[in-house]
Amino acid sequence: MSTARSRTARQFIPLPVAPAVGARSTPESQAVADDLIAVHGLGKVFSSPSGAVEALRLINFSIRQGEFVSLLGPSGCGKSTLLMLLAGLEQASEGLIRIEDKVTREPYGRAGIVFQEPTLMPWRSTLDNVLFPVVMKGLPTSKYIDRAKALLEQVGLTEASSRRPRQLSGGMRQRVALCRALIDDPTILFLDEPFSALDAITRDEMSQVLLDLWDRHRRTAVFVTHSIREAALLSDRVLVMSARPGTIIADIRVDFPRPRDFAITSSARFNALCDRLRGLVMNAHSAARQFAGGVDG
């Protein structure tokens, strides 16, 4: 029941509990072998009627298997663009992305995505929405139903499994989207500001839901956010980005023990980390303002 990670014999119930993330103490020597995602000299230029806009410049970083990495930055810094590049949904202008040591130019089939909006199909029930990726990949739905139900139970949506999206609250919809991203046992999770359309109370609730899900299904995750608290609470590493053109200005390790609880947000260490991140983001922001002559994305 435990070694459900191999690609050939994936087990669906009970949900596989991933092994704990490898020891952090052995550093760079191991990093190369463990890197699941490696980004080299990535750049993205959009052409617009008023001329070319450089969204990203010379991005370099790597993400290890099992790491939860946040991309934190002011709005308009290109962090969502970077995520779309990683997900293979847009093409880079420069540089390359390796996933599992293969250069990717198209969507990596084993990733789950959650967008800012839940993006549920209004004609599908909660359960059928969770099963949507299975249907779209042409896999047999019957094999995944139990897993879908188990996922819904973990986020507290068992009661809602036959309801339509319009009968759910915003937070419930986003929880359905999280389950949908996890249904086909993805290797990587891409989360594009998944909670930013929710109200403050629901956001905190969702952070806890994500923390709990994370402890059960430890995957590699890339989480885009402009919330310093969310980044600090959820991540193993925070990559701070500057704006226009977006580039990575800091790579901060977050070593609160897992499983984590929302309670750490009131600790002094947590707040010190938030202050540090805030300082970095503010600097990036004001630099960008000066650079862009006060035009703020």
Partner 1 sequence: MADVALAGETQAPPGTAVVGQWARSQRVLGPIATLALLLCAWEFLVRIEDVPPALLPPPSLILFKLVHLYPLLIANVGQTSLEMLVAFGLSCVIGIMLGMALAYSKFLSDCLYPNLIFLQIVPKIAVAPLFVAWLGIHSQSRIGFAIFLSFFPVFIATYSGLRQVDQDAVRLCRSFRAPEWRVLFRLRLPYALPYLFGGMKITATLAVIGIVVGEFIASQGGLGYLILFASAQQQTDVSMAAIFCLGVVGLALYGAVAIAEYLVNRRLGFLES
Which residues of this chain interact with partner 1, rule CB under 8 A? 84, 87-89, 106-107, 109, 111, 113, 115, 117, 119, 121-124, 132-133, 135-138, 164-166
Minimum CB separation of residue 106 from partner 1 in Å reads 7
* Residues 228, 46: Cα–Cα separation, whole Å: 27
Give the residue with the Cβ less far from partner 1, 139 or 287.
139
With vertex at residue 54, the alpha carbon angle to CA 52 and CA 55, rounded to the nearest 5 degrees, is: 130
Residue (3 or 123) nearer to partner 1, CB: 123
88 φψ region: left (φ > 0), alpha (ψ -120 to 50), beta (else): left
Q: CB-side exposure of 61: number of CA atoms within 13 Å?
A: 23
In the bound complex, what is the minimum distance in angstroms from residue 127's beta carbon to partner 1?
Answer: 13
Q: What is the DSSP string of 230-286?
A: HHHHH-SEEEEEETTTBEEEEEEE----SS--GGGGGSHHHHHHHHHHHHHHHHHHH
Q: Which residue, 139 or 274, has its beta carbon nearer to partner 1?
A: 139
Alpha helix stretches (DSSP H) within the chain: 28-34, 79-86, 126-130, 132-136, 145-154, 170-182, 200-216, 228-234, 268-291
CB of 167 to partner 1, least distance (A): 9
Of the pair 72, 168, the CB lying nearest partner 1 is at: 168
> Residue 65 and residue 119: Cα distance in Å, rounded?
27
Least distance CB 83 / partner 1 (angstroms): 11
Minimal distance, residue 138 CB to partner 1, in Å:
7
Rounded least distance, CB 97 to partner 1, Å: 15
N residues, the chain: 297
Beta strand 111-114 with 188-192 is: parallel
Q: How far is the CB of 114 from partner 1 (least distance, A)?
A: 9
Name the residue nearer to partner 1 (CB basis): 74 or 165: 165
- Of 60 and 167, which has the nearer Cβ to partner 1? 167
Judged by beta carbon, residue 12 or residue 132, the one nearer partner 1 is 132
| Min dist. Cβ of residue 69 to partner 1 (A) | 18
The angle formed by the CA atoms of residues 16, 19 and 21, to the nearest 5 degrees, is: 135
C-alpha angle 36/214/200, rounded to 5°? Answer: 120
Task: Please check whether residue 48 is in contact with residue 55, taking contact to mean a CB–CB distance below 8 angstroms.
Answer: no
Closer residue to partner 1 in complex, CB, 121/295: 121
Q: Whole-angstrom Cα distance, residue 65 to residue 33?
A: 10
